[in-house]
Amino acid sequence: MKRILFLMSDTGGGHRAAAEAIEAAISARYPGACRFELVDVWKYYTPFPFNYSPETYGPTIRWGKQAWKLGYKLTNTPQASTAVMDSAYNTLFKDGMRRLVVEHGDVDVVVSVHSVFVRPVLRALGERGHRPPFVTVVTDLVTTHMWWYDPNVDRCLVPTWTAYQRGLLAGLSPRQMRITGLPVHPKFAAGLLDKQEARARLDWDPDLPAVLVVGGGQGMGPLYKIARAIDATHSRCQLAVIAGRNERLKEHLETSEWNQLTHIYPYVSNMPTMMAAADILVTKAGPGTISEACIAGVPLVLSGAIPGQEEGNVTYVVRNKAGHWAPSPEKVAEAVKAWLAEGKEGLAKRAAAAKALGRPNAVWEVAEEVWHYANQPHVLVDAHGARRTALLPRIDATGADAVGI
């Protein structure tokens, strides 16, 4: 049985979601062949206060955007990223990374779906003189931080051409990388329904255009103000708002009066059905949600973005005509009103543009890459985790190097 270790953290929902998506795809394709370990490295293998990163990440992003943006920019060069991470390893993370390797390092492949852990874990593995193959799966879309890219990895799987170019800038070779798209759980694409069938299951009006407003599992952001701004336009539509686990928001929405048919939801587990039923999705520029919306063919009105890693997502969506940038409730309402005024034909064109960006097979491509490296031998390495013996790159069915552009 092959043993696969995922390095992740619950700093945002995307890292765990990517790991679970890859695990599900491998399990579906090779049932019973693997044992998986998902390790929150921040939580269990870093010292105080870093071990509280999963709890502090949200508030940090919400209240410290400018500081976050500055830190992101200052460390986001090949030289600065290496220097900062090497210093952090030597002064803060060495003991924890060594413990991680002792407790979880006896595996067939290591898969990092978090940028911060690539170099430190490679360093800790390198101290043993040998290591399993190491695969990085980049879970940011466009403005990817240099921490994602370490030339000592065996494979780096990226979601977009821009992310691929940034890997070259960081010193990775073309043969180390492949453009796969972002891995989205197989059940998402499998759960997509015809629009009318999805609306029937949700008990939505079959004829009214539907606007879906989401703020992640925690109901983050100005969802209430966005919903009220859309409501104030008196547009002919139905509104669906997912409050997530934010009970106070849900109660506020439910006790408000609305000008149009409005559906209020708590945290939901049927997002494929919700997106299949929608004509417009209002959301922040998270990579996972964008990838899901494109697979579903739902155009996006982007209401916000985390400085640094999500800023490029906005450009990516807008340039490909899959969505619109509207960084305030008023601008969201204006965009939604304008799109609804275009009628069915206009919405269909926007839906087609979004669907053109979708990569529903990404998770299967990533799963095959991970499986390939799980079946490769351990390699001899130096103290930085650099290979002394070469691994074969993953190749496609034609025998060509699988860049996958």
Cα angle for residues 289, 121, 383 (degrees, 5° grid): 145
250 and 233 within one domain: yes
- Say if residue 74 is in the same domain as residue 197: no
Q: In the sheet that 262-265 helps form, which strands lie side by side, from edge to edge?
A: 262-265, 238-242, 210-214, 280-283, 300-302, 323-325
Q: Is 389 helix (H, G, I), strand (E, B) or coil?
A: coil
Reply yes or no on whether the pLDDT at 350 is more than 50. Answer: yes
Helices (H), 161-222: 161-169, 186-190, 195-202
- What is the DSSP pairing of strand 134-137 with strand 155-158? parallel
pLDDT at position 218 over 70: no
Give the domain extent around 219: 192-357
Span 302-348, pLDDT tens digits = 999 999 999 999 999 999 999 999 999 999 999 999 999 999 999 99
Burial label for 92, CB within 10 Å (0-12, 13-18, 19+), is: middle
Token output for 155: 């494979």
Query: Is 209 among the domain residues?
Result: yes
- On whether residue 387 sits in a domain, the answer given is no
User: pLDDT per residue over 70-112, tens digit each?
Assistant: 999 999 999 999 999 999 999 999 999 999 999 999 999 999 9
Q: Are residues 236 and 347 in the same domain?
A: yes
pLDDT grade, residue 34 (50/70/90)?
A: very high
- Classify the phi-psi angles of 321: left when phi > 0, otherwise alpha if psi is within -120 to 50, otherwise beta: left
- How far, in Å, are 1, 147, 352 from residue 80 at the CA level? 40, 10, 41
CB atoms within 10 A of CB 314: 22
pLDDT in the model for residue 394 = 53
Q: What is the mean pLDDT of residues 144-171?
A: 97
pLDDT at 279: 98
Number of domains in the chain: 2
Region 26-32: mean pLDDT is 98
Average pLDDT of 160-174?
97
| DSSP code for 107 | S
Q: Do 159 and 206 sit in the same domain of this protein?
A: no
User: Distance between CA 36 and CA 171 in Å, rounded?
Assistant: 30
User: Of how many residues is the chain composed?
Assistant: 405
| Shared domain check, 128 and 25 | yes
SS3 category, 72: helix
Q: Report the CATH number that the domain containing residue 269 is assigned in CATH.
A: 3.40.50.2000
Q: Which residue pairs, CB below 8 angstroms and at least 24 apart, start in 75-81?
A: 75/145, 75/146, 75/147, 76/145, 76/146, 76/308, 77/146, 78/146, 78/149, 78/169, 78/170, 78/171, 80/146, 81/145, 81/146, 81/147, 81/170
Q: Does some domain include residue 321?
A: yes
Query: What is the pLDDT confidence band of residue 396, given thresholds at 50, 70 and 90?
Result: very low
Q: Average the pLDDT over 234-263 and give the result.
A: 94
Please check whether residue 370 lies inside any domain of the structure: yes
- The torsion angle over the Cα atoms of residues 80, 81, 84 and 88, rounded to 10 degrees, is -170
